[in-house]
Amino acid sequence: VVEIGLPEHSLVTTCAYCGVGCSFKAEMRGEELIRMVPYKDGKANRGHSCVKGRFALGYATHKDRILKPMIRDHYLQPWQEVSYEEAIAFAAAKLRGIQAKYGRGSIGAISSSRCTNEEVYLVQKMVRAGFGNNNIDTCARVCHSPTGYGLSTTYGTSAGTQDFDSVEDSDVILVIGANPTDGHPVFASRMKKRLRQGARLIVIDPRRIDLVKTPHVEADYHLPLRPGTNVAMLTALAHVVVTEGLMDEAFVRERCDWAEFQDWATFVSDPARSPEAVESVTGVPAMDVRAAARLYATGGNGAIYYGLGVTEHSQGSTSVMAIANLAMATGNIGRRGVGVNPLRGQNNVQGSCDMGSFPHELPGYRHISRDEVRETFESLWGVKLDEEPGLRIPNMFDAAVEGTFKGLYVQGEDILQSDPDTKHVSAGLAALECLIVQDLFLNETANYATVFLPGSTFLEKDGTFTNAERRINRVRRVMSPKNGYADWEVTQLLAHALGMDMHYSHPSEIMAEVAATTPSFAGVSYPLLEEKGSVQWPCNEAHPEGTPIMHIGAFMRGKGKFVITEYVATDERTGPRFPLLLTTGRILSQYNVGAQTRRTANVAWHEEDLLEIHPHDAEMRGIRERDWVKLDSRAGSTSLRAKITDRVAPGVVYTTFHHPATQANVITTDFSDWATNCPEYKVTAVQISPSNGP
C-alpha cells in the first residue's frame, strides 16, 4: 500500500497520449501531482482510462528532463547552458543569417501532434508570417496524412465521421489496420461492450489481434491479408457489394455523384477484382471475403474503424478512399452507428492537422493558393503570404542533403527516431546549419541540434487537444512549467526575436484568433468549453452545439465522390534474399518511440520489443523462443529477441518500436504514399537469422 495523502485541489485536464482524449481529474497537493483520476463526466471516456493515462506520468518529473536552454555553433561541439534570452537571440540570428545567405525558403519548421492546438497554430503562423514561406509540416505527415487526403477528396472534410457514442448503435463493426485494444484501449472497451451485446465483427489485419478472440468477443470473420494488399481487399469487398446487388442504391442516388458511382461500379465489378481473382494477392480465402462483404452490407448499421495499418502504405490514400467508397455504396454514412472512423494514434493528430500545419493548407484545410483564404490571414497578420505550398518533411531532408535547406525548428518530435530511413534523416540533419529542438529530453534528433529549448509537459500548460472524434478538450495547467515557459510562450519569444508582432497573454486568445479565421471553429471559445466541457467541430452558427455526426443529409463537399481505387503492388517485394514481410504496431503500456512511457513505471510491463515469428518460419531457421534474431532488410539491419507465436501468419513477422535499441526505422524503406508521402512503415521485406545479440 502506498500512502499518497489527500489532495488539496484538482483540475480537469486531458490525457496527452492517444487520440481517444480521455479526461482526468489531476489531483494535486501544492505543485505535486498525487494521482490522475478518470473523470466520470469526460465525454470521450466516461470515467474510464488505461494504464498510460492513469499511471504513465513519471516522465514529467524525470531526472532526464532538460530545464535550461543550450546552444552550440556545431552539433559536434559540447553544449553551453544559456538563458532563454540568449538562446532565442542566438536561434533568431542563425535563422535570419541563413535566409540572408540561402534565401527565404531555406528554413522551416515541424510541429507536433503532441502539442496543443494553440501551440501548433503559433508555429505555423510563425513560419508563414515570420519565415515568409510555407515550409511547415507536422508529424501527422508520417501517420494520418492519407486520412486527410482520402476523406477530404471523397467526403469533403479531413476527419472521422462519428462520435465515439455512435458505436452503441452499430450492428456490424469492421476494424481494418488497427489494434484498438493496445492503441486505443478506452474506446476498445466501448467497442467490446457493443460486441458483447451482439454486434457482429469483421477484422482485417495481417495479425490475429486481441479483438479477433478475447473473452466474450469473437470476430465473425478475420481476414489475415498479406501486408500491403489493403486496396485489393477493399476493392474485392466492393466487388461483392456491387455484383451481388447489396448496395444502398437510394442512398447513392440521393447523396452521391451518380455518374462517378457508375464508373466506380463498372470498375469494381470487373471479375479481375473479385475475391477469387485476388486471393493469391491477399492470401485470404475468397469465400471469407464474400461472407464478410455480405455481413457488412446487409447486417444493419455498419461502422468502419481503421488505423495506421491502412494509412502507412504506398497506397495509404487509396485505401482510405476505398473505405469511403465502401461506406457510401452501402449507405453507411450520416447517422449514428455507421461511418468511417480513423483511430488517431497521437493525442492531437486531428488538431494539428486542423490548425494548418501542412505546407499546402491554412487552418481549416483551406489550400494556400486560394486568394480569399490568404487574404483573411494577410489582413489579420499584416503580411503578404506566399501562395506556393512549402516543403513536406521528407522533402526537407532531401533539400538539406542537397544543400538548399539549412535551418529547422522542431517542436515536440524526435524525427530521427520516428521518421523512416534513418540514414537519410541523419544525413539531412547533419547538413543543417541550425537545428532548433524544443523537447522535454535530449532526444536522438537533438544529437544534431545547435539550439535546445526545453519543452513543457501537458501538465504545465493551458490549451486544447482535439481527439479522434473531433472533440476539442481543454488541457489545464495543473503545475508551473518546470522549465519556466509553456511551449507556446517559447515559440512566441522566438517569433518576437524574428521581428514579429505577437503578443498573446493566454492560449484562449490564440483560440479566439482560430475562431475568427476558421469557419469550422467559428463558435469555439474557452468560455464555451468551460460551459460544455468539450465540443466537436464543426462548431459555428450552423452548429452552435458542435457536430457529433457529420454528413447528415449531405456531404460536406455536397455530393459524395466515388474514386477509382486501382490496386498497385508496393515496390517493396519479397524474394529469395528477403522472403518475409515485417509489419509493426504498439503495445498497451507503451507509447510510440517510448520517450515518455519508458521514463515511467510502465516500462516494467514491456522492457524490450520482441519480434513475433510464426512457428513454421522459426523452426525452418532454428530459432527458439527469446533467441536473438538478426533482422535484415534492403535498408539496414537490427537485432531483436524472438517471440514464437501463431498470431502472425507464416511469411509475416511483427514487432513494436517502443525502445530505441530496436531501431525499427533503420530497416524500413523510403517508399511512401503516392499522394501524401506518408511513409510505408507497415511493409518491409526482411530476412531473419539466429544471432548472438545486438
Among residues 12, 13, 20, 124, the one that binds ligand SF4 under rule CB under 6 A:
20
> Grid coordinates 466541457 are at which residue?
533
CB of 193 to ligand SF4, least distance (A): 15
CB of 471 to ligand SF4, least distance (A): 11
User: Please, which residue, 22 or 486, has the CB nearer to ligand SF4?
Assistant: 22
Contact between 24 and 36 (Cβ < 8 Å): yes
Helix (H) or strand (E) holding 291: helix 286-298
11 DSSP 8-state letter: E
113 binds ligand SF4 (CB under 6 A): no
User: Please, which residue, 76 or 604, has the CB nearer to ligand SF4?
Assistant: 604
Beta 451-454 vs 434-439: how paired, if at all?
parallel
581 binds ligand SF4 (CB under 6 A): no
User: Please, which residue, 345 or 428, has the CB nearer to ligand SF4?
Assistant: 345
User: Please, which residue, 21 or 105, has the CB nearer to ligand SF4?
Assistant: 21
User: Please, which residue, 109 or 188, has the CB nearer to ligand SF4?
Assistant: 188
Nearest to 563 by CA among 144, 154, 148, 145: 154
Residues 6+ apart with CB under 8 A from 82: 68, 69, 70, 71, 90
Contact between 644 and 625 (Cβ < 8 Å): yes
CB of 30 to ligand SF4, least distance (A): 25
CA distance 538 to 515: 11
CB of 50 to ligand SF4, least distance (A): 3
Contact between 628 and 694 (Cβ < 8 Å): yes
Among residues 12, 13, 18, 450, the one that binds ligand SF4 under rule CB under 6 A:
18
Q: Where are the beta strands (DSSP E) in 217-363?
A: 217-218, 221-223, 302-306, 339-342, 361-362
User: Please, which residue, 476 or 559, has the CB nearer to ligand SF4?
Assistant: 476
Helix, strand or coil, per DSSP, at residue 664: helix
User: Please, which residue, 255 or 344, has the CB nearer to ligand SF4?
Assistant: 344
Contact between 412 and 112 (Cβ < 8 Å): yes
CB of 508 to ligand SF4, least distance (A): 23
CA distance 257 to 34: 56
CA distance 269 to 154: 20
22 binds ligand SF4 (CB under 6 A): yes
CB of 288 to ligand SF4, least distance (A): 31
How many residues line the site for ligand SF4 (CB under 6 A)? 14
Among residues 12, 13, 17, 94, the one that binds ligand SF4 under rule CB under 6 A:
17
Question: Which among 16-24, 272-280, 479-487, 560-568 is the span making contact with ligand SF4, rule CB under 6 A?
Answer: 16-24
Helices (H), 585-636: 615-620
Helices (H), 498-545: 507-517, 526-532
* Helix, strand and coil percent figures for the chain, each rounded to 5: 35, 20, 45
CB of 253 to ligand SF4, least distance (A): 40
CB of 187 to ligand SF4, least distance (A): 7
Helix, strand or coil, per DSSP, at residue 397: helix
User: Please, which residue, 11 or 512, has the CB nearer to ligand SF4?
Assistant: 11
Question: Which among 14-22, 61-69, 106-114, 527-535 is the span making contact with ligand SF4, rule CB under 6 A?
Answer: 14-22
CB of 345 to ligand SF4, least distance (A): 10
CB of 528 to ligand SF4, least distance (A): 22
Contacts with ligand SF4, 162-191, as mask; x by CB under 6 A: ----------------------xxx-----
CB of 533 to ligand SF4, least distance (A): 15
Question: Which among 18-26, 105-113, 316-324, 494-502 is the span making contact with ligand SF4, rule CB under 6 A?
Answer: 18-26
CB of 211 to ligand SF4, least distance (A): 15
21 binds ligand SF4 (CB under 6 A): yes
CA distance 503 to 517: 17
Contact between 620 and 670 (Cβ < 8 Å): no
Handedness of CA 31, 33, 36, 37 (dihedral sign): negative
Residues 45-84 that bind ligand SF4 (CB under 6 A): 45, 49-50, 52-53
User: Please, which residue, 596 or 638, has the CB nearer to ligand SF4?
Assistant: 596
475 binds ligand SF4 (CB under 6 A): no
CB of 16 to ligand SF4, least distance (A): 8
User: Please, which residue, 130 or 183, has the CB nearer to ligand SF4?
Assistant: 183
CA distance 115 to 655: 27
15 binds ligand SF4 (CB under 6 A): yes
201 binds ligand SF4 (CB under 6 A): no
CB of 56 to ligand SF4, least distance (A): 8
> From residue 690, how far is each of 410, 553, 619, 629, 642 by CA, in Å?
39, 58, 11, 5, 9
> From residue 372, how far is each of 368, 385, 388 by CA, in Å?
10, 12, 15
Residues 6+ apart with CB under 8 A from 85: none
Q: Which residue is nearest to ligand SF4 (CB)?
A: 53
Helix, strand or coil, per DSSP, at residue 630: strand
CA distance 404 to 396: 9
CA distance 213 to 643: 19
226 DSSP 8-state letter: P
- Residue 267's identity, in one-letter code, is F
Residues 308-367 that bind ligand SF4 (CB under 6 A): none
Question: Which among 11-19, 338-346, 358-366, 668-676 is the span making contact with ligand SF4, rule CB under 6 A?
Answer: 11-19
User: Please, which residue, 21 or 227, has the CB nearer to ligand SF4?
Assistant: 21
User: Please, which residue, 33 or 393, has the CB nearer to ligand SF4?
Assistant: 33
Q: Contact positions toward ligand SF4, by CB under 6 A?
A: 15, 17-18, 20-22, 45, 49-50, 52-53, 184-186
